[in-house]
Amino acid sequence: YGFNKNVATTSADVNAIGSHPAKPGPSKTGNRKCGRCGYAAHSLPNQECPAKKKKCHACGKLGHFIALCRSRPQKRKMDNKLNDDTKNKRIRNGKETNCIDDGNLPEDVQYVFNMNDDSTIECIIGGIKVNMLIDSGCKLNLITDKTWKTLKQKRVMVTNQVKGSNKTLYPYGSKTPLDVKGTFETIIGTNGKSVQAVVYVINDGSRDLLGKETAMSLGVLKLGVGVNEVSQTHQPFPKFKDVLVEIPIDDTCKSVSQPYRRIPIPIEKKVERKIQELLDADIIEEVHGPSKWISPVVPILKDNDDLRLCIDMRRANSAILRENHPLPCMDN
């Protein structure tokens, strides 16, 4: 009897464990799984798929998990193909060949890259006209072997012809150097100026390049700082005589006299100098007496340690009546 009692107790325990609802999870049996989330617990019609409103981290689409994304392998393969095509286009499909010098590399190593630029100039190389592309990033003068054959047929005047070169030219994104047929010295001229320069002949080249140093010596290339500031001029401020500007004001708007905003002590002298400059240029004028409208000054420091004076006109602009005019179009 004791043995039978133990068996009944064990059976009751097993039945109790089996009566608890199981947590949803991936099905380990042969039941049909969901094609969106991979679980089989919501196979009934009244159960909602947990991936219904979830976004896939692989393709970005809604309705499935990344583990069951069908577009991921194809997308990855396509991305790799696009990257490979881009790399190949950098080397094979370029129409112009430019040379750029890396300052961190030895002087005998140069890099050549491709870019689309149709700005050319007519140069005289050894007495023969050649259309060349001005390249500000190219340190060397390059011509193709086809151009070199044409120059020899027209009896170009050159000196110091050398077969090969002690410099190595690499295409952009490639470890295979260009085939330098040789170099020579000649007179390159344009726009009435000429200079002695070295020219490199490239086998299977696609474009003739005028280097930066030669272009600057000929005066066809100028490198400088961009226009980031306006130089100070001592010319009088331009004025228009017999012209009266009338600003329509809303009389129903109450005038506002805003309180004085204190200037920071470190820039007080700069503000005083700037106000004096505006007074001397007759851009502003002093007001002696009461004024209905007073707007505060807002000093702005520039990057070059100069000062710009601005006026906070937000309250005053609220009293200006807007004049609506139709904008002109191309037909006008």
**Which CATH number goes with the domain that contains 239?**
3.10.10.10
Beta-carbon-side half-sphere exposure of residue 85 (alpha carbons within 13 Å): 6
Residue 83 lies in a domain: no
Say yes or no: 244 and 208 in one domain. Answer: no
Say yes or no: 117 and 194 in one domain. Answer: yes
CA separation for the pair 205, 217 (Å, rounded): 25
Say yes or no: 240 and 188 in one domain. Answer: no
91: its two tokens:
């080397």
User: What totals of helices (H) and strands (E) does the chain contain, helices first?
Assistant: 6, 12
We report the CATH number of the domain holding residue 134 as 2.40.70.10
pTM of the model: 0.39
What pLDDT score does 232 carry? Answer: 63
CA separation for the pair 135, 200 (Å, rounded): 15
Place 171 in a pLDDT band, splitting at 50, 70 and 90.
low
Domain count, the chain: 2
Say yes or no: 102 and 214 in one domain. Answer: yes
pLDDT over 80 (residue 263): yes
Q: How many CB atoms are closer than 10 A to CB 132?
A: 24
Q: How many CB atoms are closer than 10 A to CB 12?
A: 10
State which residues form the domain around 184.
97-218
Residue 286 lies in a domain: yes
Say yes or no: 213 and 240 in one domain. Answer: no
Say yes or no: 264 and 193 in one domain. Answer: no
Residue 49 lies in a domain: no
User: Is residue 205 packed enough to be buried (19+ CB in 10 Å), middle (13-18) or exposed (0-12)?
Assistant: buried
Give the domain-ending residue among 218, 245, 280: 218
pLDDT over 80 (residue 158): yes
Q: How many CB atoms are closer than 10 A to CB 9?
A: 10
Residue 90 lies in a domain: no
- Kind and range of the H or E element at 259? none
CA separation for the pair 188, 214 (Å, rounded): 8
Residue 66 lies in a domain: no
Say yes or no: 156 and 251 in one domain. Answer: no
What is the per-residue pLDDT across 7-40, written as a single tens digit (0 to 9) for each? 444 444 444 444 444 455 544 445 677 878 877 7
CB 54 within 8 A of CB 39: no
What pLDDT score does 29 carry? Answer: 45
CB 128 within 8 A of CB 154: yes
Say yes or no: 184 and 250 in one domain. Answer: no
Residues 6+ apart with CB under 8 A from 134: 119, 120, 121, 210, 215, 220, 221
Give the domain-ending residue among 171, 192, 218: 218
Nearest in space to 182 (alpha carbons), one of 170, 203, 165, 196: 165
Tell me, what DSSP letter sits at residue 261?
P
Say yes or no: 213 and 105 in one domain. Answer: yes
What is the per-residue pLDDT across 175-195, written as a single tens digit (0 to 9) for each? 778 788 999 999 999 988 899
